Amino acid sequence: MKRKISILGSTGSIGRQALEVIEKLDDKFEIIALTAGSNTDLLNKQIEKFKPKYAYANDINAIRGAKILSLEEICSNKENDIILVAVSGKIGLKPTLTAINNGIDIALANKETLVMAGDIVMHAARTKGVKIIPVDSEHCAIHQCIKDISQVDNLIITASGGPFLHKTTDEMKNATVEQALAHPRWNMGKKITVDSATLMNKGLEVIEAHHLFNMDYDKIKVVVHPQSIVHSAIEYADGSVIAQLGLPSMHIPIQYAITYPERYHGIKSKSFSFSEIARLDFEEPDREKFKALSLAYDAGKKGGSATVCLNAANEEAVFEFLNGQIKLFDIIYAVEKMLSTHTTIQNPSIDEIFEIDNEIRLKTREILKYTSV
Ligand code: NDP
Ligand code: MG
């Protein structure tokens, strides 16, 4: 029987690659809904090709060839077996919760969902018996390595190190938008690419891992691995380390997440060759240059609304950086400032999370007004 799937954010980097996977496995999937933000042209092409029943975009009047349903309505539609949440930003949170509350499994790319409301989302998933399969390559790797989480001592998350890995702090401080977007390994959306340049992405991933695998922050380690071949690893209580390897392609984790627990040839184009790769390097992250990592650990350990604050301040500052308004290090300045003045609320409700998110975004924009490029 075909697996019925909807993709939130089908016009983005993950969404487009997911459709490439589905095209290869077209006898395995039926697409229920596709959604876009502003790229309705691409959405309409996808509708023509993949023939979903439903679609959504910011400009609903421009959609052709599918019935219109909102993200919430798509996620309440029990026709779906699984929903791939590949929108970027906070827009992913409420639809994901709606899908979980309707008993629909989730392939989760949108890491903000867990950073903002990991406790609520994971609790809802456990209560409803819903599977959350990570798409993020590191978490997907860990998911593939774990047999019994209670026997795991440490999670080891790899980081490529981004474009500034071996640049000086000064070179990084004065980086242009173009330099920050020139990621050596991965071709991703702009926001996550900037996060990879500051290593905030790794920080968000540590928080994501904490929620997905219910693991203490002290047991989540980050190691820099520039080749991006080892996608992450786990260390068992007896000292045995299991890692997942593969070429750096998001097709693999996307396919894993949407076909789990099955595996198919699908998108595989060639066999993995150790001798072609030849070497794998690992090093400690430079926590002075990449302060974002420590900020994320601190926020994660505080818990509650602290990670909402971290995420909101970071996202607003990244947008300002992408718009040429601030320097790369001002992002870290803004996050640090917001975290140091934020009073953490434990166990915030979803409404409180969105209130805090809004408040932090306003404050971040305000303080960034007084920095100039
Ligand atoms: P992109 O920016 O490439 O795509 C984002 C998608 O979300 C697009 O389809 C966009 O629509 C849609 N979207 C954005 N804002 C809205 C909105 N307000 N309402 C409705 N739809 C909206 O991002 P990525 O694909 O790179 O990333 C998606 C998520 O996956 C992020 O949370 C990211 O952290 C995570 N992720 C991405 C990885 C990657 O390799 N790219 C790896 C691991 C995680 P449109 O383009 O039509 O405006
Ligand atoms: Mg990742």
For 30-63, the pLDDT digits (tens) are 999 999 999 999 999 999 999 999 999 999 999 9
237 CA → ligand 1 middle, Å:
37
Q: Residue 187: is its pLDDT beyond 90? A: no
pLDDT in tens, 14-31: 999 999 999 999 999 999
Closest Cα to atom 7, ligand 1: which residue?
Answer: 87
Bridge partners (DSSP) of residue 230 are 245
pLDDT at 233: 98
pLDDT at 152: 98
pLDDT at 123: 98
Q: Residue 319: is its pLDDT beyond 70? A: yes
279 CA → ligand 1 middle, Å:
32
Q: Is 345 exposed, middle or buried (0-12, 13-18, 19+ CB in 10 A)?
A: middle
pLDDT at 353: 98
25 lines ligand 1 (CB under 6 A): no
Q: Is 313 exposed, middle or buried (0-12, 13-18, 19+ CB in 10 A)?
A: buried
pTM of the model: 0.97
Other beta carbons less than 10 A from residue 183's beta carbon:
18
Q: Residue 290: is its pLDDT beyond 90? A: yes
Helix 200-213 to helix 137-145 angle (10° resolution) is 30
pLDDT in tens, 63-88: 999 999 999 999 999 999 999 999 99
Average pLDDT taken over every residue of the chain: 96
Cβ pair 232, 158 in contact under 8 A: yes
All structural domains of the chain with their residue ranges? 3-134, 139-247+275-293, 303-373
Average pLDDT over residues 148-158: 97
226 lines ligand 1 (CB under 6 A): no
Q: Residue 215: is its pLDDT beyond 70? A: yes
Average pLDDT over residues 180-193: 90
Average pLDDT over residues 143-165: 96
pLDDT at 84: 99
Average pLDDT over residues 3-18: 98
- Integer Cα distance of 126 and 110 in angstroms: 19
CATH class of 303-373: mainly alpha
pLDDT at 372: 63
202 CA → ligand 2 middle, Å:
7
pLDDT at 373: 63
Q: Residue 219: is its pLDDT beyond 70? A: yes
Average pLDDT over residues 220-230: 97
pLDDT at 370: 78
Average pLDDT over residues 332-357: 98
How many helices, marked H, and strands, marked E, lie in the chain? 16, 11
232 CA → ligand 2 middle, Å:
10
The domain made up of 3-134 has a fold known as Rossmann fold (3.40.50)
192 lines ligand 1 (CB under 6 A): yes
pLDDT at 186: 83
Cβ pair 57, 49 in contact under 8 A: no
Q: Residue 108: is its pLDDT beyond 90? A: yes
- Integer Cα distance of 297 and 313 in angstroms: 15
98 lines ligand 1 (CB under 6 A): no
pLDDT at 255: 98
**Lateral strand order in the sheet of 230-236:** 220-224, 152-159, 230-236, 241-245
**List of residues 6+ apart from 103 with CB closer than 8 A:** 78, 128, 129, 130
pLDDT at 244: 98
